[in-house]
A and B are shown apart, each in its own frame.
Chain A
Amino acid sequence: MRVIKQRPMNWIERLYIFEAIRGLWTTLKHAARGLFRYETLPTISYPEGQPEIRNTYRAKHRLMLRPDGTPRCVACGMCAAACPAHCIFIEATQSDDPRIEKRVMRFDIDHLTCVFCGLCVEACPVDALRMDTKVISFEHRTREEFVSHLFDLTNWDPKDYPNDPQSQVAPGGTKNAEALKVWGMEVK
């Protein structure tokens, strides 16, 4: 345990009036800086200015895609089991591809309940779920719109993730043609 001993105030400080003037001076200084030298302020004026967000920041989720455009998600429910907020809802069904058994039919994340802890991403055994979209603001008119559905979660553009090889495998990505060949479907 660390004990912090406060230095007793001297008599000028105890007089109050000089300290009050000093406080006002600080406020005035910053107000003047905001007016004349705005660029040097350490804060950003959101929303006109946007913060720089790294791809490791836990932002809105997305579901990764296979070369043929189906979600990588195998509907195992591990993310829902790991989620401390119980805000992931999954329903599974049989896949049409004979090589794949199970596919996801419904995948909803309620972003009003989500605490953006990232445990779902850690839990996913097939790297289907990521939180690297850099989308940090959620504004909608109704509560229902805050629930992201399968379409919303898979609707992202590989061009936004140029340095991520896994994203480039998805349709529209630079590695898609190559991946489709391995996947077993010839590109025409």
Chain B
Amino acid sequence: MSNYYNMPKLPTEASPKVEIFVDDKAVMVPGDTNLLEALKAVGIETPHVCYHPYLPVSGNCRQCLVEQEGPRGRMLVISCYTPVTPGMKIYTPASSARVKNARKATQEFMLVNHPLDCPICDKAGECTLQENYMECGQNESRLRPEYGKNYHGNPAHQFVDAKGQVRGGKHVDLGPRVLLDEERCVQCDRCVRFMRSIAGSEQLQLAGRADHTYITTFPGEKLDHEYDLCVTDVCPVGAMTAKYFRFQKRVWLLSHTPTVSMDDSLGANIWLDHADGRIYRVMPRCNPEVNRSWLSNTSRLAFQEFDKNRLPSMELHKVTFGNGKIAIVAGGTCTMEDLAAMKMLKESLGDRAELFGGSLLKVTAPDGIAKSGDPCANRAGMKLMGFADVSELLKRASEFETLFTVNANLFGEDANAAKVLEKINTRVALTPFDDETAKKASIAIGVRHWSEVQGTMVNSLNIVQKLSACPVCPDEGLKAPYAVVAFLAGEKLESAADAFKKVTEYVPAFAGLSYDTIKSTGKLLEGGNA
């Protein structure tokens, strides 16, 4: 069982390089990490099951064995919990038959009572056991068919299947969002460690001993936590399955779009997994600086609303903005490109237009996992662009004659604010959804949702992160907000790249950046003041 504090140290760019000998060849590896990460840094992958870079090391699966030269000769050690020391001599399967056999044996043991479930298993295609089997297993079956497989999970969930075989625990309901399959569980205890050390609420436990260990919750309690769907990610096999994605799609049919979750100012990095023009699931995209491998349920399940209640596309006409003062309000999901276009609009209208940005939703404290608590995702970007906060607008609402909102559902967010803002006569709303603000608007123009546009945002850590367009837009005629705003400003932004050029002109901290120079994990800004 793992203890609490042995978080793996991951190599960084600043790691000191030390020389070790792998298969009698000298290589330079990061010196402040474990052997598994060090070997990975030089391109040697070690199969592993229980090790996860952002969970405390537990060392219970023994899949990651390598040989190390020690005072008593060559010994098998687990690479996930062996620190790198200068001059150590390591042997991998490339030179050592013993390592190869040991890994193969471990793999065989792991599969002895594992069900032959891959055809119906939601993890198939991205399963660690399958990968390990291809890499270091591939044994001849030594199973005696007359004995079959044994079921070693919770005895209460046992049943006899149609072929007379003892099976069990196929869909144990752990909580509102997660189902457990006890037969597939390999007792790696990653889920337990996640709930204990990351979520900070120890809702899962290993019960029983040895071969009969199984995962369970405390009696009468359920797995119910804002981050509980992360256990389905950390689970290396198909034991933990998310109810919302269960049997929806085979994973190899999904395409993946890397983007950033725009419902929180931390901007958790995500994959939008889509097929047939709709999003099927959202997975965390590992970013060591931002959300590591975690994603809150709110961000993960938000996609279910993305294609509902949408405004249709329409032909754009030039809007005349009257003579009075105009408030241009950016919502939290506006990208930097949208903000640049709004600034262009302000410039075309002159001094009577003012820029505001933000959200009326409550800002809460960061949870330290994958949320900063601020629902206005691009707040830092708005500061860089010089947008005033919306609270300012509420104070001075009576000065304005036109309210121009982009992705900002001000009327839906706060009923009191709605009363104040209703006094502004002309209301133009650019929004993907037919929300309260669109309903109250004199003109509502449908635009693309943030999941369907390319762009950038600045998160609460002052990191510029890239959004990519996922090809799931319900109406191909819809345009990105920046394109519509630029059109209303009498200018033309053909692509997100054009809009980004404008951003680099407006924001000194962005100077010299382009989509190509921002890495997939983002770029930390130097001169920002967020």
Contact = CB atoms under 8 A, between A and B. Distances in A.
B247 A75 contact: yes
A156 to B, nearest CB: 21
Interface string B153-172: 00000011111100100110
Nearest to B122: A102
A25 interface: no
A76 interface: yes
B5 interface: no
A77 B248 CA distance: 11
Interface in B406-433: none
A55 interface: no
Interface string B235-253: 0000000000011101011
A184 B162 contact: yes
Interface size class of A (residues with CB under 8 A): 10 to 19
B167 A102 contact: no
Contact of A75 (B120, B162, B253): B120
A101 B162 contact: no
B119 interface: yes
A92 interface: yes
Given A74-B120, A102-B120, A183 B247 contact: no
A99 B119 contact: no
Interface in A55-74: 66, 74
Contacts of B120: 74-76, 101-102
A126 B162 contact: no
A14 B135 CA distance: 70
Q: Which of B159, B246, B250 is most buried by chain A, counting CB atoms within 10 A of its CB?
A: B250
B119 A126 contact: yes
Nearest to B252: A81
Given A75-B120, A125-B119, A99 B247 contact: no
Q: Interface majority SS on B: helix, strand, loop or mixed?
A: loop
Nearest to B170: A101
Q: Interface majority SS on A: helix, strand, loop or mixed?
A: loop
B247 A94 contact: yes
A158 B495 CA distance: 62
Nearest to A126: B119
Interface in A69-105: 74-78, 81, 92-94, 98-99, 101-102
A76 B167 contact: no
A182 interface: yes
Q: Which of B159, B160, B161, B162 is most buried by chain A, counting CB atoms within 10 A of its CB?
A: B162
Q: Which of B163, B164, B247, B253 is most buried by chain A, counting CB atoms within 10 A of its CB?
A: B247
B159 to A, nearest CB: 6
Interface string B246-284: 111010110000000000000000000000000000000
Contact of B162 (A93, A102, A183): A183
Contact of A99 (B170, B248, B252, B253): B170
A65 to B, nearest CB: 13
A182 B162 contact: yes
Contacts of A183: 162
B119 A76 contact: yes
A61 B38 CA distance: 53
A77 B119 CA distance: 8
A179 to B, nearest CB: 9
Contacts of A77: 250, 253
A182 B119 contact: no
A123 to B, nearest CB: 10
B141 to A, nearest CB: 15
A141 to B, nearest CB: 28
B122 to A, nearest CB: 9
A21 B23 CA distance: 83
A99 B253 CA distance: 27
A98 B170 contact: yes
A169 to B, nearest CB: 11
A93 B248 CA distance: 7
B360 to A, nearest CB: 40
Contacts of A102: 120, 247
A14 to B, nearest CB: 65
Given A99-B167, A102-B120, 18 more contacts: A75-B247, A76-B120, A76-B250, A77-B253, A78-B119, A92-B247, A93-B247, A94-B247, A98-B159, A98-B170, A98-B171, A99-B159, A99-B161, A99-B162, A101-B170, A101-B171, A125-B119, A182-B163
Q: Closest 8 interchain pairs by CB?
A: A76-B119, A92-B247, A102-B120, A77-B250, A125-B119, A74-B120, A183-B162, A99-B161
17 contacts: A75-B247, A76-B119, A76-B120, A77-B253, A81-B250, A98-B159, A98-B171, A99-B159, A99-B161, A99-B162, A101-B171, A102-B120, A102-B247, A125-B119, A126-B119, A182-B163, A182-B164
